[in-house]
Structure 1
């Protein structure tokens, strides 16, 4: 099953490893050519949605942490714990799941595309490498991860924007809140008040973040899994967990600054003078660095890592299991 390309270097039986010739010659539904081509995308989307449901509270705290103290370089610095306590102190435990519908839609679009595209590219690279009696290089894995992440992020930007707007809404004064009822309500409200183009606000840092994240997550996971397989006698599951933790660190480190800028740009709205706080990604980087300091881009790294690594682990485990069910 091609949706297991993440574990192809760990010797799990995947379409990419086995090659087209190894797929059973059968006419049942799961082995119809169109279904085999679609399964990487379907399994990828489902695995991402399961992971998002588990990790959503951490993502909510991460966004609130990034938006707190905007434009201020001094004063008390909020922490993930203080933000969580504040939400719970208000008796709004369910607020930790604010924007879940947008998060699920984002995974349904973004993760479906990125895992499906990455798996498809890796399958072709693996087949070519086998024909040439070589191995897929790290550079090729990196290229596949960058391409999959960038394309998927652009497609999924509207859902990502809606997620940030829904999570940031609770930070506004009561009179200014939109009180979005769902992701559909958020998207409709944004289009109505700001136009269709606004759905791609922050698309540049979103794509840059996704490319950096996928370079760290997909390429590093594949490489770490290959190295662990040759250097350890751990079980496939142990190799998967260790490799995903390693990939989670590099994905977090490379993508957090872009994630921070993406959140700021997607949250911003025009002021009374009709102007936006930031003119674009470069201006946001420069303004934050000048007003809040360079370390601001990495505030909340621990929270972000806790958001990225478990999400990667859950996604990989679920996609692994779905691949086994549909092999």
Structure 2
């Protein structure tokens, strides 16, 4: 080790020792650092939530690509060969590029950043209103009220994130068009700009109705079945660890969330992918028209095509959501927080936000 390097290491060690001594002698002063600033502490849950969602999106993006292609296969026809995951995967990478499975990743990341942040923001706002009203009335926030806040937050966040969702579907389905008709979007921002320029700004909210319903159905499945699954697993499998119990409950809740939301996701994909035909008209006039045509021409089970890939896509996000909420609602055991009018003592809770 050179003399200059040794000197820098020694200097860093002295700084660490000084900081540690300061924390012991004056712990209040330590809380004035950047991470303990009120604004930073308030923003951290949203930043962590957005980053967690984006990380999960990056992992499951190929699965999402396959799910979208499965939903678009055989459009308008009830018969014909049933596409498989393997066949769709081969078709996507037929051009020799495995990275084609990641088409639309920039849109997926933007959507997740916007949606997750907005959902947590709306939920916190609604929950603050509910808690303020409950304290004023001397009552407690009920499960139904929390569930309503969660559903509303999910729906509003989906509305905010719809443009990125639209860009994602357009980028993923672009390869299904003839080569001379492909848009070949370079990024999510290129897609958003070109769609707004050629189709109008309002086109960015195409499919927003099923998008909002999908988000609400997704949250309903998670809300309704996580707490119950957790309780049932604890009753019938008491030997399970807390982490195993939570993971199993998340998997079950993810299944039901997928079951309730996939039909809306299917219609959303069809609406957001459609373009005008030679007659200048869209194949579907809207949500109900799409539902009726698919039901009549392709059968009711078509709404659940790609269920396996959809569940694989949803499960990591469901587990990520539960972990975010658990961390935000779990206090440090035995820790005391002092406010102007009351002292609050936290408990060792695992998932209080959704449980009654």
* TM-score (norm. length: structure 1): 0.82
Q: Which residue of 2 aligns with 1:182?
A: 187
Q: Is 1:46 aligned to residue 31 of structure 2?
A: no
Q: Which residue of 1 aligns with 2:206?
A: 201
Give the 3-state SS of the residue equivalent to 2:313 in structure 1: helix
Quote the offset at 1:136 in angstroms. Answer: 4.0
Quote the offset at 1:219 in angstroms. Answer: 4.8
User: Would the alpha carbon gap of residues 125 and 175 (structure 1) be closer, same or farther in structure 2, given more than 3 Å must change?
Assistant: same
- After superposition, residues 1-327 of structure 1 pair within 5 angstroms as 26-119=31-124, 121-122=126-127, 136-137=142-143, 139-225=144-230, 232=238, 234-314=240-320, 316-317=322-323
Quote the offset at 1:321 in angstroms. Answer: 7.4
Larger of the two Rg values belongs to structure: 2
Q: Partners of 1:129 and 1:240 in 2: how far apart?
A: 29
Quote the offset at 1:148 in angstroms. Answer: 1.2
Q: Partners of 1:180 and 1:208 in 2: how far apart?
A: 28
Mapped contact 2:229–2:253 kept (Cα < 8 A): yes
User: Would the alpha carbon gap of residues 125 and 241 (structure 1) be closer, same or farther in structure 2, given more than 3 Å must change?
Assistant: farther
Which structure has more relative contact order (CA 8 Å, sep 6+)? It is 1
User: Would the alpha carbon gap of residues 64 and 159 (structure 1) be closer, same or farther in structure 2, given more than 3 Å must change?
Assistant: same
Quote the offset at 1:181 in angstroms. Answer: 0.6
TM-superposition CA deviations, 1:33-77 (whole Å, max 9, x none):
333332332221111001000110100000000011110111111
Q: Partners of 2:231 and 2:161 in 1: how far apart?
A: 30
Mapped contact 1:158–1:200 kept (Cα < 8 A): yes
Give the 3-state SS of the residue equivalent to 2:161 in structure 1: helix
Mapped contact 2:45–2:328 kept (Cα < 8 A): no
TM-superposition CA deviations, 1:79-126 (whole Å, max 9, x none):
222211322344221011000000000001011111343355457657
Q: Partners of 1:284 and 1:310 in 2: how far apart?
A: 29
User: Would the alpha carbon gap of residues 115 and 225 (structure 1) be closer, same or farther in structure 2, given more than 3 Å must change?
Assistant: farther
Q: Unaligned 5+ residue runs, structure 2? A: 1-29, 336-356
Quote the offset at 1:322 in angstroms. Answer: 9.4
User: Would the alpha carbon gap of residues 26 and 115 (structure 1) be closer, same or farther in structure 2, given more than 3 Å must change?
Assistant: same
TM-superposition CA deviations, 1:224-251 (whole Å, max 9, x none):
4466567745333223211211110111
Quote the offset at 1:206 in angstroms. Answer: 0.5
User: Would the alpha carbon gap of residues 170 and 318 (structure 1) be closer, same or farther in structure 2, given more than 3 Å must change?
Assistant: farther
User: Would the alpha carbon gap of residues 148 and 230 (structure 1) be closer, same or farther in structure 2, given more than 3 Å must change?
Assistant: farther
Quote the offset at 1:156 in angstroms. Answer: 0.2
Quote the offset at 1:320 in angstroms. Answer: 6.3
User: Would the alpha carbon gap of residues 302 and 132 (structure 1) be closer, same or farther in structure 2, given more than 3 Å must change?
Assistant: farther
User: Would the alpha carbon gap of residues 318 and 122 (structure 1) be closer, same or farther in structure 2, given more than 3 Å must change?
Assistant: closer
Indicate the larger mover: 147-156 or 108-117. Answer: 108-117
Q: Unaligned 5+ residue runs, structure 1? A: 1-24
